[in-house]
Amino acid sequence: MPEQSAAKNYNGLYTPLAIVLAGALIGGGLFFGLSKSGDSIGGGPQPTANVDIKDVKIDGDPYIGNKNAKVVLAYWSDFQCPYCKAVEMGGIPQIPLEPAIPTLIKDYVDTGKLKIVFKDYAFLSDDSTTAALYGRAVWSLYPDKYWEWREGMYEKQDEEHGGFGDEASIVALMKTISGVDADKVKADVAANRAKYQGAIDADRAEGTSFGINGTPGFITGKTLIPGAAELATFTAAIDAQL
């Protein structure tokens, strides 16, 4: 009986603490959307016999770098994902991560050692799918403008649900990119929606089959990198293949 009384008294202390913790979790959820976005900052590489970049289908997907580069990095992403923005360009105070992609481009892509292939994993909202559809169209019509468009998309990224990312805002963004006919891209999306949606769905299914359950996710060589990892995680996996 004394022990039960003591436990009951402690509950009075736990209740305020639980409210504070719940508030903190809810606040975090509002930003991250409970989105299964890469849940690790500096997530370690995971070598596994079940993952091999040679098994990743990359034909038809957007990419940057030398087509025949020795090393390939497959990158599954969602344009609404804050962790993807963190690893590509940074600028998110809530995710204190030095972005890895700019250095990978400078040291590996621009020197012909690495090709980065962009795979769709659109799952956060309807805007995720709309962005992925437009990404396919931009790549089809203006492949040399794809990276500029992609950077613009992440620069404009705001909350996961609502705000920037619907068709009207994406078309408006495209009108600021020299050499891109936004109306032509919009028409291409309308004409090829089913084909592009099939490719988007296939990318996500493929990523899931390799153990990628959110964004970002990467495969290079026989290494799976889940989440927005530090630069050293990428360079270690890439250097081992060079």
Q: What is the CATH number of the domain that holds 129?
A: 3.40.30.10
pLDDT score of 50: 85
Q: Pick 27 or 204 by higher pLDDT.
A: 204
Q: Work out the average pLDDT over 136-144.
A: 98
Determine the Cα–Cα distance for residues 72 and 228; give it in Å rounded to an integer: 18
Q: How far is CA 232 from CA 45, 100, 226, 238, in A?
A: 10, 8, 14, 10
Higher pLDDT, 183 or 36: 183
Whole-structure pTM value: 0.81
Residues 26 and 51 in one domain: no
Which pLDDT belongs to residue 88? 97
Q: Which residues contact 160 (CB under 8 A, 6 or more apart)?
A: 32, 33, 35, 80, 81, 82, 124, 125
pLDDT digits (tens, 9 = 90+) for 114-132: 999 999 999 999 999 999 9
141 located within any domain: yes
**What pLDDT band is residue 29 in, cutting at 50, 70 and 90?**
very low
Whether 40 is in a domain gets the answer no
Q: Does the pLDDT of residue 197 top 60, yes or no? A: yes
Locus of tokens 């090709």? 115
Do 219 and 56 contact (CB within 8 A), yes or no?
A: yes
Chain centroid to Cα 38, Å, comes to 8
Q: What is the tens place of the pLDDT at every residue in 67-114?
A: 999 999 999 999 999 999 999 999 899 999 999 999 999 999 999 999
- Same structural domain for residues 145 and 217? yes
State yes or no: cis peptide before 45, omega within 30 of 0: no
pLDDT digits 0-9 by tens, 81-93: 999 999 999 989 9
Max Cα distance, the chain (Å): 79
Q: Burial-class residue 141 by CB neighbours within 10 Å (0-12, 13-18, 19+).
A: middle
Indicate if 136 and 28 belong to the same structural domain: no
Residue given tokens 């993807």 in the structure block: 84
The verdict on 23 and 91 lying in the same domain is: no
Looking at residue 31, what is its pLDDT? 38
**78 shares a domain with 110:** yes
Going by pLDDT thresholds of 50, 70 and 90, the confidence category of residue 158 is confident
Are 19 and 59 found together in one domain?
Answer: no
Higher pLDDT, 44 or 115: 115
Highest mean pLDDT out of 34-38, 43-47, 124-128, 236-240? 236-240
Q: Are residues 174 and 224 in the same domain?
A: yes
What's residue 147's pLDDT? 98
**Containing structural domain, residue 77:** 46-239
Residue 121, in any domain of the structure:
yes
